[in-house]
Structure 1
Amino acid sequence: MNERRTTADDREPTTDAEGKTGPTRAAVGTPPPGPRGLPVINSTLGFARDPLEFLSSIREYGDVAHYEAFGREFVVVSDPGLVETVLVARDDEFWRGEFEHEFSEVLDVEGLFFAEGERWRNQRLLLQNAFTPARIQSYADDMVDETVRLVEDWSDGEVVDVREAMSTLTLRALTRSLFDLEYKEPRFSEPNRGSHPRSFGGDRADCVQRWVQAMGAYSDSEFFGIRAVLPTWLPSRAEREYRRATADVEALVEEMVAERRRSDAAGGDLLSLLATGEYPNGSRPTAEEITGQLQLFLLAGHETTATVLTYACWLLAAADVEDVRSRLEQEVTTVCGDRDPTFADLPDLAITEAVGREAMRLYPPLPFLQREPHEATTLAGYRIGPATTVQLNMYGIHRDERWWSEPDAFRPDRWLSNDEDGRSVVADRDDRPEYAYFPFGGGSRHCIGMRFAMAELQLSLATMVRRVDLERVTESIDPTPRVSLDPGPVEMRVRRR
């Protein structure tokens, strides 16, 4: 991709390869256009009912559009150059904003995702040591082993909920890499039901699973839609269950941090790194800080990768992509032979990577990012107030025909070219803006776990391809933004190879 650097206030109208014109500068200082909405509640119901459809429809007002919902103002940005302006060229003018921080306060979690300023820089410097190529290589065998374990439990002809299965898979892998704990199947039947024992012993992995499921239920977008119109002091059952599960996890992490510090063992998991590591100023993370970091990595790390794996499996099972499936299978056979993939194989699994990239283009786990200016500013000539939430419309940009041919089609080949030996390699195009694709964010706050996620995505897909074919039972999906872009139940029939 190109390295174009533009600033929003100096932009001229953009024109793509097909001659289509992008956003034109508005008069400096004018507010962006947008829908009026309903009295009092404005666009709250429209957004809460179907966020993706709402953000798609608002593009009729242009690449910078305004709406009001949930008692606050939003500006939707649907142009790659402006996304780059916010995330890179003028990133010091924006922060994550009150809207996302209210989410962190509701969930009562702290960590790198929500930290700002010097606190964020200290955390980032410490945590990046957990995501070096060498560290990720040490996690690779666990990723493959857990995939084998999952798939070997499937019977030929069995119908499985792939969304649930992929969530279990990524949670297992994260439990091992974050905590160095062996995941066990939980002994409860449904999330948020039954008691929550506070003794850990052999139940440590179960405790983590209960917390993840409780958080998923509590942060469901439908719940927050209801929360917008109900008193904040009125607790729900989901909230009560989440608070109990959170207390258990906090006690678990505090206990494990003390164990790691007493042992002085140099473990390879993230908990050991945090327990024994130091910030640049020489201080150590507190148990509370470590808990917050691990909670966020558990939430974001397993949900987002599970979501991408689910969409990838479902997309590969479409009737019109038989050629893609055949070439993917041939690649895995050529690279791996009769063994499972390894970290060293990743550069050669180009088609596998392209499938993952294309799944994230069509269904980015976080369909929009949000920022807020520190003070009043302008973007493409439009006035943006300091309390305005700027939504970077990733889902819309990823499907914009100005940047993508056949934007709604699953075409992994758009990421591939041939090297001088005729082998498929992943290659970025120079004829589209860099931020026409940004599933891991961008700028200084790009996702720290990007390499981890891509490694797991490639290794898990390649491992599954060696063992099974999956056929669609669920013929259509209805993605809904929750913790990630949730497809809902995705049932598929297993055919063992």
Structure 2
Amino acid sequence: MLSTRAALPKDAKHDFYSFTADEMDRSNGGSVLGSEFGSNALLFVSAGGDTTATALAALFFYLSHNPRCYGELADEIRSTFQAGDDIRSGPALASCRYLRASIDEALRLSPPIGGTLWREATRSDQEPNPFTVDGHVIPPGTQIGVNTYALHHNERYFPDPFAFKPDRWLESADAAKPEEQERLKLMREALNPFSTGVRGCPGKSLAYMEMSLAMAKTLFYFDFEVDRGEKGEKGKRRGKGSTPPPTVFACRDVFTSTHDGPYLTFRPRGNLVDELAASK
């Protein structure tokens, strides 16, 4: 694939190669190796596709296993939009606060990249003091990081951390109280599925839009539930803390997260699905 694209003129397509071709020309001062281009291109494919797919899978899983949350979100979508074609990026979709809260809660419980994104500690002449974490001096060159899954399940920031509770992201009736503001502030700072700082995911806004559109469209046209057969049990495991313990979506860390399921049954809502057939 890379060889085929490299054989075409640089501007033949408006793609990643068109932006980096000049930087791969070592005879002209380029700084990017061909091997670096290939590895980064593959990273972009997984970072832009696998992660969003995993987040949506988790969202479908948690909604299908939490009927009250499912009903709350379905009511919000179906009362906000009168037709499926009205569901697009804009103020109406942005007003769906329970939708955003549900997405954030799924990202918290089952982050698409749940491991540790390592960074190297550096020190410049402009920084007279050494880099220090919790009283420990971190020497330059040391690899450091925070495990995303562990951070997202820390009870200090997220009480009952294995439970799917979108409401935790919504302002309560005590929103004006300092302790409520501090609670939300701590949670928002601890939620870190896209990493942070200069190495944070540049596609964060796009990912939120994709997930919002996909779930809003689905809930407008369909109802769904856990498959009642053997496949409906796939992807389930027990969390900790509550009695009985909550059901959580099982993900495995292989840089991005892999998973099995969820397996769901979808049913059209009346004749609304005819809109989809007519729009093809």
TM-score, normalised via structure 2 length? 0.69
In structure 2, the residue matched to 1:470 is: 224
Deviations 1:95-138 (A, max 9, x none): xxxxxxxxxxxxxxxxxxxxxxxxxxxxxxxxxxxxxxxxxxxx
Report the aligned-residue RMSD: 3.5
Shift of 1:481: 0.7
Deviations 1:223-251 (A, max 9, x none): xxxxxxxxxxxxxxxxxxxxxxxxxxxxx
Q: Label 1:456 to 1:416 Cα distance change in 2 as closer, same or farther (>3 A).
A: same
Q: State the alpha-carbon separation in 2 of the partners of residues 491 and 255 from structure 1.
A: 38
Which one-letter code corresponds to 2:151 in the other structure? I
Shift of 1:468: 2.5
1:396 pairs, out of 143, 150, 165, with 150
Q: State the alpha-carbon separation in 2 of the partners of residues 293 and 254 from structure 1.
A: 15
Which one-letter code corresponds to 2:89 in the other structure? F
Deviations 1:427-473 (A, max 9, x none): 99545265311111111211111112111111111122123333221
- What is the aligned-residue identity percentage? 28
**1:359/1:410 contact within 8 Å kept:** yes
Question: Residues 37-436 of structure 1 correspond to what in structure 2 (within 5 A)?
Answer: 252-259=1-8, 261=10, 263=12, 267=14, 270=16, 290-318=37-65, 321-340=66-85, 341-344=87-90, 345-367=92-114, 368-374=116-122, 378-384=132-138, 388-417=142-171, 430-432=184-186, 435-436=189-190
Q: Label 1:306 to 1:359 Cα distance change in 2 as closer, same or farther (>3 A).
A: same
Aligned length: 232
With CA pairs under 8 Å and 6+ residues apart, which has the higher RCO, 1 or 2?
Answer: 1
Q: State the alpha-carbon separation in 2 of the partners of residues 274 and 283 from structure 1.
A: 9
Q: Label 1:383 to 1:327 Cα distance change in 2 as closer, same or farther (>3 A).
A: same
Q: State the alpha-carbon separation in 2 of the partners of residues 450 and 272 from structure 1.
A: 23
Q: Label 1:283 to 1:387 Cα distance change in 2 as closer, same or farther (>3 A).
A: closer
Shift of 1:286: 7.4
Q: Label 1:333 to 1:430 Cα distance change in 2 as closer, same or farther (>3 A).
A: closer
Unaligned runs of 5+ in 1: 1-251, 420-426
TM-score, normalised via structure 1 length? 0.41
Q: State the alpha-carbon separation in 2 of the partners of residues 485 and 479 from structure 1.
A: 6
Q: Label 1:445 to 1:471 Cα distance change in 2 as closer, same or farther (>3 A).
A: same
Q: State the alpha-carbon separation in 2 of the partners of residues 346 and 271 from structure 1.
A: 34
Shift of 1:373: 2.7
Q: State the alpha-carbon separation in 2 of the partners of residues 270 and 495 from structure 1.
A: 40
Which one-letter code corresponds to 1:486 in the other structure? T
Question: Residues 448-459 of structure 1 correspond to what in structure 2 (within 5 A)?
Answer: 448-459=202-213
Unaligned runs of 5+ in 2: 124-129, 174-180, 227-231, 238-249, 270-280
Deviations 1:319-366 (A, max 9, x none): xx3232222222222333222421224312322221111001111112
Q: Label 1:386 to 1:305 Cα distance change in 2 as closer, same or farther (>3 A).
A: same
In structure 2, the residue matched to 1:482 is: 254
Which one-letter code corresponds to 1:481 in the other structure? D
Deviations 1:358-381 (A, max 9, x none): 001111112232223348964222
Q: Label 1:339 to 1:272 Cα distance change in 2 as closer, same or farther (>3 A).
A: farther
